[in-house]
Amino acid sequence: MSDSAIISVRNLTVRFGTHTIFENVSFDVPRGKIFVILGGSGCGKSTMLRTLTGLVKPATGSIHYGSENLLTAYGNERLRLLKKFGILFQSGGLFASMTLAENVALPLKTSTSMPLERLSDVIAMKLGSVGLSGFEGHLPSEISGGMKKRAGLARAMALDPAILFFDEPSAGLDPVSSASLDKLIRELNSALGTTMIVVTHELDSIALIADYVMMLDKGERGIIAEGTLHDVKRSTDRRVRDFFDRVAG
Ligand SMILES: Nc1ncnc2c1ncn2[C@@H]1O[C@H](COP(=O)(O)OP(=O)(O)O)[C@@H](O)[C@H]1O
Ligand SMILES: [Mg+2]
């Protein structure tokens, strides 16, 4: 594994029953960059995120975060690894009956012993960093879809994760909110240096945020292209070409 990799995946095989989703997949995720996973519907993008965050158990392979293998770590070692991850789920994943401040407070209360007086400062800072200053007391139902995603992001960042995972962050958003979320993702990456792994199939988003791209394919049960967007766009693989020509063509 190179020094610049934060995650190193080797020979990963994932099955659901007799259905093989990934067969012998290997790749590195570079540290501090935005790594985009793309591919058609059902190729396993969400499954890959769930596998990298310990929610799906592979049949074989290794997933190293530094010297620690997520797949063999247990007890406190596994917990320490899981605390490195922040996850923004597709829906935003907010609790409807809680204010934005309470939603962001949740991981802080369960995973830290932060004193109450400091808690509100941290919550204000996290909501401020996603452009939601002043919305501490709002319920999710009182804000727009784009704001819900931002609030979900503030919660995902509550514990200062080393790696943020996003599953189709712009799904369900109008083009303006979607572009502004992409811009925020880019800004947070530059400001904090947090490694970000983003599943998307929006070509506009990919162009705006991707430092590296990895394209998965269902039939291949793995990777059909990877590299910078520039590299991947020059692929002569018909499946890759079809993906990028979709909108233009
Ligand atoms: N928990 C599960 N049990 C069984 N099959 C699953 C499960 N999760 C996903 N799958 C199957 O794995 C394949 C990949 O799904 P998914 O990762 O959601 O694809 P994508 O996010 O690229 O659309 C699909 O065929 C899906 O039906
Ligand atoms: Mg998915």
pLDDT digits (tens, 9 = 90+) for 142-165: 999 999 999 999 999 999 999 999
Query: For ligand 1, what atom is nearest to the CA of residue 48?
Result: 17
Q: Counting ligands in written order, which one lies closest to the CA of residue 47?
A: 1
Full-model pTM: 0.94
% of the chain surpassing 70 pLDDT: 97
89 domain residue, yes or no: yes
CATH code at 244?
A: 3.40.50.300
Q: Strands 163-167 and 5-16: what pairing?
A: unpaired
* Within a domain: 69: no
Q: Which atom of ligand 1 is nearest to the CA of 216?
A: 22
Residue 55, ligand 1, Cβ within 6 A: no
Give the structural domain span for 228. 30-54+76-248
Closest CA to 34 of 194, 200, 217, 234: 194
Is residue 248 scored above 70 in pLDDT? no
What DSSP element (H or E) covers 11? Answer: strand 5-16
pLDDT classification of 247: cutoffs 50, 70, 90: low
* Six token digits for residue 169: 């962050």
Q: Is the pLDDT of residue 92 over 80?
A: no
Q: What is the pLDDT of residue 76?
A: 94
Indicate whether 249 pLDDT > 70. Answer: no
pLDDT above 80: residue 172: yes
Segment (H or E) for 214:
strand 212-217
Query: What pLDDT sits at residue 3?
Result: 64
Query: 23 in a domain, yes or no?
Result: no
Q: Is the CB of 21 under 6 A from ligand 1?
A: yes
Q: What is the pLDDT of residue 60?
A: 97
Residue % of the chain over a pLDDT of 90: 85
* Domain assignment of residue 70, yes or no: no
- Rounded distance, CA 48 to CA 221, Å? 11
Residue nearest to atom 26 of ligand 1 (CA): 42
- Our answer on whether the CB atom of 38 is closer than 6 Å to any ligand 1 atom is no
| Of 66-80, 86-100, 161-175, 213-227, the least confident | 86-100
Residue 134 within any structural domain of the chain? yes
Tens digit of pLDDT for each residue in 94-118? 999 999 999 999 999 888 888 888 8
Question: Does residue 211 form part of some domain?
Answer: yes
Residue 17 lies in a domain: no
Decide if 9 is inside a domain: no
Beta bridge partners of 87: 165
Mean pLDDT of 212-222: 97
Number of structural domains found in the chain: 1
